[in-house]
Amino acid sequence: MTPLAALGNRYLVAGAAGALAPLGLAPFGYWPATLVAMALLARLLYRHRQQSYRLSFCYGAGLYLVGASWVYVSIVNFGTLPAALAALATIAFALFVALFFALPLALLRQMPRTPLSFIAAFTALWLLGEWLRSWLLTGFPWLYAGYSLTDSLVASYAAIGGVYLLSALLAAAAAALALWGELRRPQRWAGLAASALVVLTGLGLDRVQWTQAVGSPISVALLQPDVDQAQKWSASQRSAILGALEQRSEPLWGHQIVVWPEAAVPAVAQSVPTFLARIDRRARAANTALITGIPNYQAATGRYYNSVLALGNASGLYNKTQLVPFAEIIPLQSLLGPLLAIFELPMESMSHGDRHQPLLQVGEWQLATAICYEVVYPDLVARQAADAQLLLTVSNDAWFNHTIAPHQHLQMAQLRARESAKAMIRATNNGVSALIDHRGRLLATAPQYQAASLTGWLQPRTGSTWYSRTGSLPWVVTALLICVILLWRQRRSVRH
């Protein structure tokens, strides 16, 4: 085999490994697939350090082309592009994210060349990479490796370090697996002992009661209206949609909380005051808290918000703080705006809500709210969850159509509940609507792609986990320190 062919094969293997990784996530759930994919990448990076960035880029490209393939469906179904240009836009998006995926792992070429140092560096850089992708250019915190461990024996670590710690544990295991042949026998035994200790500690953490039940369980009802996205914002359909919301909610009044999904009311709140006043009266008469997604316009500033409004036996308004890149907001608009105009991608003009907003009040309970895409941001949800007794997320996953994205989205909501040790209400337009307990387990789900309602009971809880109090900061600082120490050791060894 020629050197050029061997080089090409390396990149193909890296890309194939990235494409394999999503099989460990929802809806597939084959977590060893993610472990094997990461181990393949670790092996390639260990043997070919000078190509660290390019190999990592190929892995990232495979990861996002497969795991975020739903971007194509969103563009081709709800944009104006023909299929060929939609495919091109999807590929461009995947490659764009892959550029940032590869950045931290490129530092491996500067690290010490011993197996143990590589394992430490790979683990630390993987954690830093996921953290970087949670905020750079507004962030795209999707397809994190740790989600493959949502239902595993070590999922309890989420209460300490969130999905970042789960990803780090998986990265360490993958790197050790990749370098098993390079490790000395005592190091192998130490690795096996460490793995056993991690699992046993995880089982112990699973018994820790981070939060405490307070009061009685609350009766909750979710309405899943299944409104066609193509008709949702049509003025001619507004009356029919509002009428259906009222009619389908009639059997639900009397539950302590009734939730409509993101933008369930297809008009800004200020344009439908009569409808909202009528619903408010109906909810109060039933002693029910109604929470609905609805656009909101503030005349004083001329800004539009994607919001959640509480009516009836509840109060509060929450404006979405973390907007969807390339949908609600354009990163680097001066640079990318003209390009997106060429592709004719539909763009909304929304504003960021304040970072610190009061929690929604439902009787004596407070709800931490995340609208759609916000629930994929671990630190954002953790920060709001600390003082809440229940978690709430509303979404409109109709944009994803029949793809794997709604299941990925649900899995991330499950882990947010596990990270905060508090139950979560998840109401969506067409699925997957769900009631999730404080351990991230699905108590009930509504069928996808049809109008439905879902009822059940959730237990309010008080207190907070370590992760709710600290967020990712301790783990990011630890990973940075590991990298600094390893870089210092490498420079010192070169000098001597």
DSSP code string of 162-208? HHHHHHHHHHHHHHHHHTGGGS-HHHHHHHHHHHHHHHHHHHHHTT-
Residue among 228, 230, 256, 255 at smallest CA distance from 244: 228
How far apart are the C-alpha atoms of 260 and 246, rounded to whole Å? 11
How far apart are the C-alpha atoms of 233 and 114, rounded to whole Å? 59
Does the pTM surpass 0.75? The reply is yes
What is the 8-class DSSP label of residue 460? Answer: -
How far apart are the C-alpha atoms of 38 and 60, rounded to whole Å? 11
What is the 8-class DSSP label of residue 404? Answer: S
The domain limits of the chain are: 3-209+478-495, 213-464
Burial of 95 (0-12, 13-18, 19+ CB in 10 A): middle
Token pair in block for residue 477: 């600082």
What pLDDT, on the 0 to 100 scale, is given for residue 326? Answer: 65
What pLDDT, on the 0 to 100 scale, is given for residue 80? Answer: 72
253 alpha carbon, distance to own chain's centre: 31
What pLDDT, on the 0 to 100 scale, is given for residue 342? Answer: 47
CATH code, residues 213-464:
3.60.110.10
pLDDT along the chain (496 residues), means of 10: 64 98 98 98 97 98 97 84 91 96 97 96 98 92 98 97 98 98 96 96 96 98 94 92 97 98 96 97 98 93 94 97 77 55 52 94 97 97 96 94 96 98 98 97 97 98 97 98 96 78
Using the Cα atoms of residue 478, residue 481, residue 486 and residue 489 in order, give the sign of their dihedral: negative
**Residue 279 near residue 259, CB atoms below 8 Å:** no
Angle between helices 52-67 and 83-105 (to 10 degrees): 140
**Residue 75 near residue 87, CB atoms below 8 Å:** no
Active site residues: 262, 320, 372
What pLDDT, on the 0 to 100 scale, is given for residue 346? Answer: 44
What pLDDT, on the 0 to 100 scale, is given for residue 76? Answer: 87
Q: CB-side exposure of 139: number of CA atoms within 13 Å?
A: 22
